[in-house]
Amino acid sequence: MTENDPSGHDAGKARPAGAQPDAEQSASWAAQPAPQQTDATGLGGHATPHTGAQQAYTPEQQYNPWSPHTQAQQEHQTQGQYTQGHQVPGHQTPYTQPGPSVYAVPQQRQASKSTSGKLLAGVAAIALVVGGVAGGTVGYLTGDASGGSSVNALDAPKPAQQTGNLPAGSVEAVAQKLSPSVVELQVSGRSGAGEGSGFVLSTDGYVLTNNHVVEVAAGGGQIQAVFQDGKKGTATVVGRDPTTDIAVVKVSGVSGLTPVELGRSDDLRVGQPVVAIGSPFELTGTVTSGIVSALNRPVSAGGGGDQTTVMSAVQTDAAINPGNSGGPLANMAGQVIGINSAIYSPKSAQGQGGESGGNVGIGFAIPIDQARRTADDIINTGQAKQTFIGARVQTAPTGGAQLGEITAGSPAEKAGLKSGDVVTKLDDRTIPNADALVAEIRTRAPNDKVKFTLADGKVIEVTLGGQPVTPN
């Protein structure tokens, strides 16, 4: 995910939905048992896999780009890497096929002050050296060998101070509107420490963030909220949902909070400009901008432990780095349209020890329409509700999502779906693989009616079910 994840999940590898194996991997995959199925009924985000031998994937065998950055991760690294998509050593995730992962969890920044100090000192040293050389060069070039008079910019008066209103729809205007509502979350627990971001939902202290930002503190840890103006308060976990990587915390001891304005994500357009705000690498209040690069991107990201998240994400090229997770992605009206949650981290960008690399222009955000519904459930009941159909699912050899075992009395059975049916569309959304079907179901609300188009052309209407999520 996008911050130094205190949960310290991944380090293994998983292949993005729909990706094809490379030549070196195809032979080994072909020798494996039949594809494992995903249980779309999975409470808490797990799907129950079919029984049968599965080859264990160790860090030497697979590379995982989704890597959280926390002390907790360092502990996991001694046991193998946890993948986005997510591959736990000896356990294949039900949502993706084996293969190299392209998605990295940009998690919370590891609480390592000594390293940060050395890094900043190094940067300062470089800046001083460059400044010295540049100064000498300028002096040489502006010197007048002829002895005549010279023009020096230092002698010119300062221009008039900017006093006008910020132009509407500018990055400046969005930053000014949203920054007071964005909070840095410093998290610690028995298994590690780190930091991420969040944003204010209400004047009485509710803050929306990622599950993987705060889960390390869920078992009695501590969370401190730091605001733009320097105010600090203690936060407690109200509820969290690993299946959607969403959590709500409540901050106490701070008054005068400014809630964000929530937008909508169902009318986003590719190419639309957006702004991200968060605390990458502990740099609180960092503002970056870019565009919506793609929509409805099925992405698997680690939500902690063996929980797996599959979301239909908003892809953006706005710079997102470890520490940004949980922060807002906003449109140019300053309305929040997504929660920054994950980044793509190629192997070449990974640091020593499996730590995720920085921004490469491919980040992912949870659509705000989905996050809004989950947050509302958590605040009103203390528990999120997961949408499901009650069927296992795997990617069909010819494309689409093939249904496996159907749970008795489930929405799938009631609608007349059968084991072996291949779903190729959900409403007007093409379903190329199992991940896409799971992601699309997760974006809908319980009791929504959707139309499944099958490979044989048959269209079946399904009323989606809902069940409470109980985090580990």
Which residues are tagged catalytic? 212, 245, 325
Complete DSSP assignment for 313-338: EEEE-S---TT-TT-EEE-TTSEEEE
Residue 469 sits at φ, ψ, to 5 deg, of -100, 130
Contact predicate 465/388, CB 8 Å: yes
Q: In Å, how far from its chain's centre is CA 297?
A: 12
Amino acid at 441: I
Q: Is 246 helix (H, G, I), strand (E, B) or coil?
A: strand
Unique residue bearing structure tokens 């293969």: 99
Residue 51 sits at φ, ψ, to 5 deg, of -75, 160
Query: Helix axis angle, 368-381 relative to 434-443, nearest 10°?
Result: 60
Quickly count: other Cβ atoms within 10 Å of residue 358's Cβ. 15
Roughly how many angstroms between the first and final C-alpha of the chain, as a whole number?
A: 19
Contact predicate 227/163, CB 8 Å: no
Which residues, other chains included, contact 268 with Cβ-Cβ below 8 Å and sequence gap of 6+? 292, 295, 314, 331, 337, 367
Burial 141-163 (b: 16+ CB within 10 A, else e): eeeeeeeeeeeeeeeeeeeeeee
Unique residue bearing structure tokens 């992405």: 299
Contact predicate 378/384, CB 8 Å: yes
Q: What is the largest CA-CA distance in the chain?
A: 95
User: Could you tell me which residues are beta bridge partners of residue 206?
Assistant: 250
Output DSSP code: residue 50. Answer: P
**How far apart are alpha carbons 404 and 307 in whole angstroms?**
21
Nearest 10 degrees: Cα torsion 125, 127, 133, 134:
-170
**How far apart are alpha carbons 460 and 417 in whole angstroms?**
8
Contact predicate 105/73, CB 8 Å: no
The number of C-alpha atoms within 13 Å of 400 and in the hemisphere containing its C-beta is 17
